[in-house]
Structures are given as structure tokens and as C-alpha cells.
Amino acid sequence: MVYRRWEGMFKNGINLILTLYFFLSLSLQHLNLISMSVSSSAVDFRTGTKVAIKKLHRPFQSELFAKRAYRELRLLKHMKHENVIGLVYVFTADLSLDRFHDFYLVMPFMGTDLGKLMKLQNLSEDKVQFLVYQMLKGLKDLKPGNLAVNQECELKILDFGLARQADSEMTGYVVTRWYRAPEVILSWMHYTQTVDIWSVGCIMVEMLSGKPLFKGNDHLDQLTEIMKITGTPTQDFITKLQSQDAKNYVKSLPKVQKKDLQELFSKVNPQAVTVIECMLLLDPESRVMAAEALTLPYFSEFREPEEETEAQPYDHSVDNSDLSLEQWKRHTFTEILSFQPQVVESRETAL
């Protein structure tokens, strides 16, 4: 009877035996309570590899949280890039939709994040090159805590811009601001991919210098710190601003000349400074795009163009819907049932 209930639950595509086996094959190592989830590391005995398990904290306590949980699950399912965290497995202990309250995301285990790594050690030139190269390959909304790194210096992006929707509710908000593009800070204009290029530039400077470049105390102070380096906007840039209030504010700022970055970072590899110069431009339309940045001489040692794949288009139609809490739950439950895990043989078995 119990078997039949499980069989009915997974009739939409998840193999029952594999699911039960996966539950039994995880050896939990430790738990860590963080703001939005409970995370643990585990060993998948099918492959012998270490994984991270994330249980979202009360994902259905409100429509906002339910939407965020659904979106995180969808994005993890969608991602198929070696430099972006994807989903190894997803499961729930709840047997039906009316009992559905929690679910668990299983992802690759990385060990640490770039923010912690930078505090522990000064990164060598070749590590900076390799890490920034990987960031550009798998570009998303970036700050050091969103970049997971393992012992082989392999990097994966593990944040999907969720903090853009509700900054005031997220922990680490003050730190996040230091890596935000100026157009995001004051919502000046529509965002393009170059908001993330700005973040890469900020992180790259921090890796090379050992400290954040723009350490503002609030929104306006952040903008002031940025313009000490970039200079105040030109009239051409001001005309692109969508808000008249933003235009008036920028016009009222004291005029500051742009700093010469080659002079400012005179002890840094000039090729690295050239990359930073292309990224930290006030006008987002002038910043280098990821594909173009990858071709710069600074990354030539690590470049493998055939591996620089572009992500498949992501369907945002449901994400952008205005749905009830119960509808978000139903969509999330369906996504869990439809997940098809890729069973990868261990290296020992394959040999």
C-alpha cells in the first residue's frame, strides 16, 4: 500500500527505485543554519562524490518566498554549464500536494566561496586569471559570496540574481552593494549583461589588491566612491537616464575627473588593468561584454574557446506571473516530480 502511494506520486517521470535509493545513499556530514536555508554536506554512495544538500527555510510562508523558491528550483534545473551550479537531485518527503511544505536541493559540493578564500590567502596572478576567466564563462549576478570554489580552484556561480527582487530582506545586503553597478544602485535604467561585468571588475580588483574598491556606507555614498574612480558622468550619459530626478541629482554632483587606472594600480600586471578598465566604465553601453572580455590577452593562457558555451534561453513566463501561494506550491511540486536526474557512473566504475 505504501509502495503504491509512492508509485502514484512519481508517475510523472521520477523513477521510484532511484529516488528511494538516493535517500538511502546520502551520508550526512554536518548541518549549517543560514538565513534562507539549512545546508548540509553529504556523500552520494552511487558515485562516491561529495554533494551539498540545501533545505529551503519555510519556502511557502508567503507568495514572495514561494515564488523565490520556485524560481531557484527552475533555474537550477535549467543550468547546464560547468561554471554555474546546477542540480544533481531534488526531493521532498511530503507524499502529496496538500502535505507539501519542504523540499531539498542537491548540488555539487564546492568547499568554500571566493569571499572566504580571499580572506584566507593572497591569490596568485595565475589564480586570479583562472578565476576571472571562469566568472566570464558562466556570468550571472555576482559578488564574492556567490562564487563557490573548490580545492582545484574550479569556480561555479551559485546565485541567480534573486537578491535583486528584495534586497532589504536578504542578509549580506551591505556587502552586496559594494559590487553593484551604478545603474543598479539607483535604478537609473534597464539592466543589461554589463551590470555583471561591473561586478566582475570589482571582484577582480579585490582579488588583486586584497580589499574592496568601492566600499560605500549607503546608496549615495556608494555612488560617490564609484565616481572618485570613474569621474562624474558626461552629458551624453546623463541624457540616457530614465528618471528626471536621477538626472537632476547627477547634474548637482561636483565635477570629478576620471582616474588613470594604470597609474592607480601601477604594481598590477598592465594586462590585468586593461581588463579592469574595460569593465569599470560608468556607462553600461561602453563596458566590455563577456564574450569580448574572454578574448583579451590577459586570459590567453587559459582560453579554450570551444568550451565557452552560451547558456540556453530560460523561459521566464511563469516566473513573472502573479500567482497565489497555492499556485506557486503546485508549480514547485510539479517541477520536483518532473525532475530527471542524470545518473553518472563513478570514475572507478567507468574505468
Catalytic residue among 102, 113, 126, 141: 141
Specify whether the backbone of 111 is left (phi greater than 0), alpha (psi in -120 to 50) or beta. left
| DSSP H or E stretch at residue 44 | strand 37-44
What does DSSP say about strands 49-56 and 104-108: parallel, antiparallel, or unpaired? antiparallel
Q: How far apart are CA 287 and CA 202, in angstroms?
A: 13
- Alpha-carbon distances, residue 291 vs 44, 81, 126, 201, 202 (angstroms): 36, 15, 20, 15, 18
In the 8-state DSSP scheme, what is residue 205?
H
- Alpha-carbon distances, residue 286 vs 175, 195, 281 (angstroms): 26, 11, 7
Active-site residue, 113 included: no
Site of grid cell 549615495: 220
Gyration radius from the chain CA atoms: 22
Q: Which residues are catalytic?
A: 141
